C-alpha cells in the first residue's frame, strides 16, 4: 500500500468539502481508491487522527490475538 502525501489528502478533502466535488470523482482524479477517500472522510467525522486510528487498529488486532490464544489454552485446560 502506497502512502498518500498529506498535502494531496488535504487537497482532495478540500475539493470535496469546499468545491462540492464527489468523493469518487476526487479519488479518480487523484488516481487513488474511493475507499481511501471515504475512509479519510469518516476519520474526520470521528475527530481522531489517522495515526491514532492506525494505533487503535493495531492494538485491537493484538488484543484479538491474545483472546484467541487464551481461548485456545482454556479449551485445552477444559479437555484435560
Please list the pLDDT of the chain residue by residue as tens digits (80 residues). Answer: 678 898 999 999 999 888 988 989 999 999 999 999 988 888 877 666 667 777 888 999 999 999 999 999 999 988 87
- Per-residue model confidence (pLDDT) at position 12: 93
Give the global pTM.
0.55
Q: What is the pLDDT of residues 41-55, one digit of tens each?
A: 888 776 666 677 778
- Per-residue model confidence (pLDDT) at position 27: 94
**Number of residues in the chain:** 80
Query: Which of 61, 40, 59, 60 lies closest to 50, judged by CA?
Result: 40
- Per-residue model confidence (pLDDT) at position 47: 66
The C-alpha R_g of the chain, in whole angstroms, comes to 19
Alpha helix positions (H), 1-80: 6-19, 23-30, 34-46, 50-79
Amino acid at each position: 500500500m502506497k502512502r498518500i502525501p498529506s498535502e494531496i489528502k488535504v487537497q482532495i478533502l478540500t475539493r470535496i468539502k469546499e468545491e462540492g466535488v464527489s468523493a469518487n470523482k476526487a479519488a479518480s482524479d487523484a488516481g487513488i481508491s474511493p475507499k481511501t477517500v471515504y475512509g479519510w472522510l469518516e476519520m474526520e467525522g470521528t475527530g481522531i487522527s489517522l495515526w491514532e486510528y492506525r494505533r487503535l487498529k493495531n492494538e485491537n488486532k493484538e488484543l484479538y490475538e491474545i483472546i484467541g490464544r487464551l481461548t485456545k489454552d482454556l479449551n485445552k485446560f477444559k479437555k484435560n
